[in-house]
Amino acid sequence: MLTMLCLLLAGLAMLTLPALLGWVGVLRLGCVGAMAAMAALAVLALLWPVTEVLALPFGPPWAAALLALDPLSAWFLLLLGLAGCFASLLVGPAPRHELVAYPLFLLGMAVCITAADGFTLLLGFEAMSLASWAMLHERRAARLYLIFAVFGGACLMGALGLLSAGAGSLGFAALRAAPPEGALALAVLAMVLLGAGAKAGLAPLHLWLPLAHPAAPAHVSALMSAVMVKVALYVLLRLVFDLCGGAQPSWWGVPLLLAGAGSAMLGALRANLETDTKAILACSTIENVGLIAVGLGLALMFRGADMAVPAALAMSGALLHVMNHGLFKCLLFLGVGVVLEQAASRRVDGLGGLLGRMPVLGWAMLVGALSAAAIPPLSGFASEWLLLQALLGVWRTGDALFQFAALVALALVAMAVALGAAAMLRFWGLVFLGRPRSPRVAGATDVQGAGRPAVLLPAALCLLLGIFPGLALGLMQPVLAQWLGPAVPGPGGVFGLSAGDAGARYLVLPAALLLGLLALALWRAGMFSAGGSAARAPAWDCGYIAPPPHMPFGFPDTQPSGAGFAQPIARMLGAPLLAGTDVVTVPPPGSPVPARRRAGTTDPTWAALAALRQARHGLSGFLDRLRTLSIRHSLGLMFATLVLLLAVLAVLERP
């Protein structure tokens, strides 16, 4: 199986050749095939776990590069395979360097996920960052992205260096045998949280994400949001959950829990305020990464408290959400790409009324949006049910710190879930419902060709995993067994999910069936009621006069705009939390000019970044002054340094 994996990785590397030659068709076909094969391979590896490690005949000077496919890797590889397969369907003509970067991006993620030593892990991680950077279109976003990527990579390098200090080798088996202790372990935790958090977009290291993800072509955005941030979470899982060993204190989960809850809230709030469809989706990614981090934090807390069943609950919730978010976010980004192609706009204020023109895409994206909004019986609700059940069980640990952290996290997560639903409604409703906001939108046609399976397949998977979450949880069972031991029952079943204790169950299959039957029965009853079929008339709109004939889609200003729809939330939450501004200009009575509103928000973390910039300015000014010192001052400085070093030496050498 590992040989197959190697062949697939080599194949991905070879695909740079057709990319260099500009053969888009070959590239697309090759990527789709390789990714589908990778997904199949991952399923096989989950069904029949692979334990051996493959040493490649090349690597860094001191050792061979190692590859392995244990259940944890296989789970993330499955996500990469599925999302990569759907996204690759939409590979289109692009500048040469972007075409070459695309298979390298996929390769980097696959290598990072399947690496079995620190060097290969970092190699894949950096390849992923650099290749995706090469595909960004906006200069400012790309620079910010690169800064955060370099920062993240540097932190991870430090973490791996500290981890290997005790083991003397970078191989995972050796690292696992010598887990870090005391202050060293703390330093590893901090660096992994910073490094993986910066790449995953955990607050407060999320600033790059809403800028960078929208700046790429749709299929790359889809992969960045659906998979790349998950690869960062995989690195977090691998380093903290696996390589640091099981004996770490349970409070390790608390920073993860709180950062996750904060990210979820902040991301969901920002998703309600953005007016660019891709930025909305990128902010929703911050929210979902936060939710996954909450689950991971809870899993650590429960494991530290020796509560295996809730730990399995939290972990499976997090891992299931990894898959669910990957699928629906892939679907939504790809759909937005199709919309951009057809309707020439990414802004919600330039779209509208697309459901009538693009029914297939519209309904598929409704499934994705409802999944993202955590509406039963779709997939997002299943994983969020597990996460909420885990949060509701934290009080059983009996530790006051955990209980109050969970109380705060629960309130934040609940708000984030409701905000996420509002954001998805706003996104889908403004794009697909109402009237077209531009002539180009009115002429849009439905998704055709390769785009059709690219949106329909993930939508089908969202439905499938929503109604049968037990399928995914069954596949995931080896991951839980690997981490908690084989005896711990997972929360999945045929009819739905169970939270382990006292019969708290989410019986999704019967609920979905009843829901469908009831709706159908009501509909049939409605058909037989005397009214007859529906008639059409101009919208009543509280008596607003009908538009003149040269405005076939009505007055544009009588439809809610993106900023207008966001106004209540902007005023209630944006103003206090995001330093929101809101200026309304109302024309004098009798004037036909519509009222206008200008609103804006600033993410509070920009202030932190500005402070860093200020500090850098100060430092460079200071260094500049050092350079122009007189010879007297320079000599004095050297002498002072020498004395200082001698003093340090004297202190250190004291018996």
Partner 1 sequence: MIAGIFSLLAQLLHAGLVLALAPVLIGFVRFIKARLMGRRGPPLLQPWRDILKLLRKRPVLAEGATAITQATPYIACAATFLAACLVPGFAQGMVLAPMADLLLLAGLLALARLALALAGMDAGTAFGGMGAAREMSLSTFAEPVLLLCILVLAMVAGTTNLDTMVATLRDGGVGLRVSLALAAVALLAVALVENARMPADNPATHLELTMVHEAMILEASGRHLALWEMQAALKLLVWMALLSAVFFPWGVAPAAAGPGAWALGLGLWSGKLFGLAFALAVFESAIAKLRIFRVPEFLGVALLLAALAVALLFVSTGLA
Site for partner 1 in 364-393 (CB under 8 A): 370, 373-376, 381, 385, 388-389, 392
- Please say which residue, 139 or 524, places its beta carbon nearer to partner 1: 524
- Please say which residue, 165 or 407, places its beta carbon nearer to partner 1: 407
- Reference 420, options 534, 569, 293, 540; nearest CA is 569
What character string, x for contact with partner 1 (CB under 8 A) and - otherwise, covers 485-524? --------------x-xxxxxxx--xx--xx--xx--xx-
Is residue 426 near partner 1 by the rule CB under 8 A? Answer: yes
The three-point CA angle 44-46-51 to 5° equals 95
Rounded CA-CA distance 110/79 in Å is: 10
Across 592-611, b (16+ Cβ under 10 Å) vs e yields eeeeeeebebebeeeeeeee
Report yes or no: 23 and 94 within 8 Å, Cβ to Cβ.
no
Determine which residue in the list 7, 165, 407, 619 makes contact with partner 1, applying CB under 8 A.
407
- Please say which residue, 503 or 655, places its beta carbon nearer to partner 1: 503
Is residue 548 near partner 1 by the rule CB under 8 A? Answer: no
3 state SS of 93: coil
3 state SS of 68: strand
**Candidate segments 42-50, 304-312, 429-437, 619-627, binder of partner 1 by CB under 8 A:** 429-437
- Please say which residue, 58 or 540, places its beta carbon nearer to partner 1: 540
Give, as ranges, the residues between 249 and 308 that touch partner 1 (CB under 8 A): none
- Please say which residue, 151 or 553, places its beta carbon nearer to partner 1: 553
Q: Would you give the distance in Å from CA 386 to the centre of its chain?
A: 18
Is residue 554 near partner 1 by the rule CB under 8 A? Answer: yes
**Candidate segments 129-137, 468-476, 559-567, 599-607, binder of partner 1 by CB under 8 A:** 559-567
Token representation of residue 283: 């902010």
What character string, x for contact with partner 1 (CB under 8 A) and - otherwise, covers 318-357? ----------------------------------xx-xx-
- Please say which residue, 92 or 538, places its beta carbon nearer to partner 1: 538
Rounded CA-CA distance 408/110 in Å is: 36
Inter-CA distances, 158 with 13, 150, 256, Å:
28, 12, 19
Determine which residue in the list 104, 332, 419, 454 makes contact with partner 1, applying CB under 8 A.
419
Determine which residue in the list 137, 140, 571, 598 makes contact with partner 1, applying CB under 8 A.
571
**Candidate segments 19-27, 92-100, 164-172, 569-577, binder of partner 1 by CB under 8 A:** 569-577
Q: How many CA atoms lie within 13 A of 516 on its CB side?
A: 9
**Candidate segments 24-32, 123-131, 426-434, 583-591, binder of partner 1 by CB under 8 A:** 426-434
Q: Which residue has the tokens 């039957």?
A: 517
Determine which residue in the list 47, 539, 586, 647 makes contact with partner 1, applying CB under 8 A.
539
What is the nearest approach in angstroms of partner 1 to the Cβ of residue 314?
15
Rounded CA-CA distance 81/77 in Å is: 6
Residue 548 CB neighbour total at 10 angstroms: 9
Determine which residue in the list 237, 240, 266, 421 makes contact with partner 1, applying CB under 8 A.
421
Alpha helix segments (H runs only) across 16-168:
16-21, 24-47, 71-88, 96-114, 118-134, 139-167
Put residue 63 in one of left, alpha, beta given phi > 0 → left and psi -120 to 50 → alpha. Answer: beta
Determine which residue in the list 43, 157, 433, 488 makes contact with partner 1, applying CB under 8 A.
433
Is residue 538 near partner 1 by the rule CB under 8 A? Answer: yes
Report yes or no: 233 and 97 within 8 Å, Cβ to Cβ.
no
Binding-site size for partner 1 (CB under 8 A) equals 84
- Please say which residue, 246 or 356, places its beta carbon nearer to partner 1: 356
Residue 329 CB neighbour total at 10 angstroms: 30
**Candidate segments 55-63, 281-289, 479-487, 568-576, binder of partner 1 by CB under 8 A:** 568-576
Handedness of CA 371, 377, 383, 387 (dihedral sign): positive
Is residue 443 near partner 1 by the rule CB under 8 A? Answer: no
What is the nearest approach in angstroms of partner 1 to the Cβ of residue 363?
9
